Amino acid sequence: MSKNMPNDTRSPYDPDNIFAKILRGEIPCKEIYADDYALCFHDVNPQAPVHALVIPRNAYRSFSDFTTDASNEEICGFFRAVKQSVQLLNLEEDGYRLLANHGEHAGQEVDHFHVHICGGGSLGKLINKNNSSS
């Protein structure tokens, strides 16, 4: 289980978050790919024609936690699972976007590190400049 990052003021990992429950089989998902390092499944609230999530099997709250506390084997295994998922979703030829949010300002809704895979059509600009806060 991941530790809190130094200077990280967010609360510790919540083992009852929705992704932890999915990993334990308490909540079903539409699985795309699974291995020892990661689980990929369709997002229940898709923001693109194809929208999947890839989550590591162990408890990491953010990209920072993951890259600091995970073993090299876990990190490599996770990103290979992302690649495998992209292939299974048939997104390589036309393109796709990978996105990982960190914290409130980035819009992270679940405190379990995850990568969004989006594709299946034009995704537009990465950031809407008109949506900035004052």
Active-site positions? 114
Q: Is 57 in contact with 114 (CB distance < 8 Å)?
A: no
Helix (H, G, I), strand (E, B) or coil at 20: helix
CA 120 to mean position of chain CA atoms: 18
Binning the chain into helix, strand and coil, the percentages to the nearest 5 are: 25, 20, 55
At position 3, the amino acid (one-letter code) is: K
